[in-house]
Homo-oligomer: A and B are copies of this chain.
Amino acid sequence: MSVADPHTEPRPLSAAGKPLTSRGEATRGRILEAAEHVFADLGYHEASIVKITEHAGIGLGTFYLYFDGKQQVFEELVIDLNRRVRRSMAEAMAGATDRISAERAGFEGFFRFTAAHPALYRVVREAEFVSPETLRLHYMRIVEGYESGLRAAQADGDVDEALDPEVTAWALMGAGELIGMRYLLWERDAGGAPPAEMPASVVDDMARFIRNALSPRARTEGPA
């Protein structure tokens, strides 16, 4: 799994379009963190700016220095979660020495972020209804980096060149999404225990599946 470098993306602005001071960025981050909890707990319809500002411990006026309203803070939250999940994946992959280890590490980074931020799934799914454009942006930003990573690995001979890198990127992202839902979020909901981790055996099983799917394969079976 390969992802665009989230460090090179534009920095956030104030509601008036001005660059933020580092203190301003910290306050904006605090609002987004509160929004993550409020939207995940209550859903978009029940959530309100007042509940977000109460959770963040700031005044309503401060909120409006950074965001125009509920829809905008929701969209910025999706973009922020997207940037952070990609960073978690990129950091996990940094030490990998070959393609298959990198794939595995990328998904470990994804699952680690999901365990710490279960809001990711709820918020992204609600984006389908609240802001379809932001939902698309979320998926496209992950897929674009993934796809270019697969192309590079094909050029190096590490990934089967018969695979279409775009369709393959969507397939693997979907696999990771449902495996995260099933073995992380559902188990966590069932337990009521402290944050679950993805069981190592599931990561092993997934890595075996991905290795099979991606590795160059001797074409003795005839055309696909």
Contact = CB atoms under 8 A, between A and B. Distances in A.
Contact of A163 (B125, B167, B205): B205
Give the number of copies in the complex.
2
Interface stretch (A2-10, A11-19, A72-80, A170-178): A170-178
Contact of A171 (B164, B170, B179, B218): B179
A30 B164 CA distance: 42
A84 interface: no
Contact of A209 (B125, B139, B167): B167
A211 B164 CA distance: 13
B178 A171 contact: yes
A164 to B, nearest CB: 4
A62 interface: no
A108 interface: no
A218 B45 CA distance: 53
A224 interface: yes
Contacts of A164: 205, 208
B212 A217 contact: yes
Contact of A211 (B43, B45, B189, B224): B224
A179 to B, nearest CB: 5
Interface in A153-204: 160, 162-164, 167-168, 170-179, 181-183, 186, 189, 202, 204
B167 A179 contact: yes
Given A174-B176, A174-B178, A175-B175, A206 B125 contact: no
A168 to B, nearest CB: 6
Interface of A: 43, 45, 100, 122, 125-126, 128-129, 132, 136, 139, 160, 162-164, 167-168, 170-179, 181-183, 186, 189, 202, 204-215, 217-218, 221, 224
Given A125-B129, A212-B212, A215-B221, 7 more contacts: A139-B182, A162-B208, A167-B206, A174-B178, A175-B175, A212-B215, A217-B217
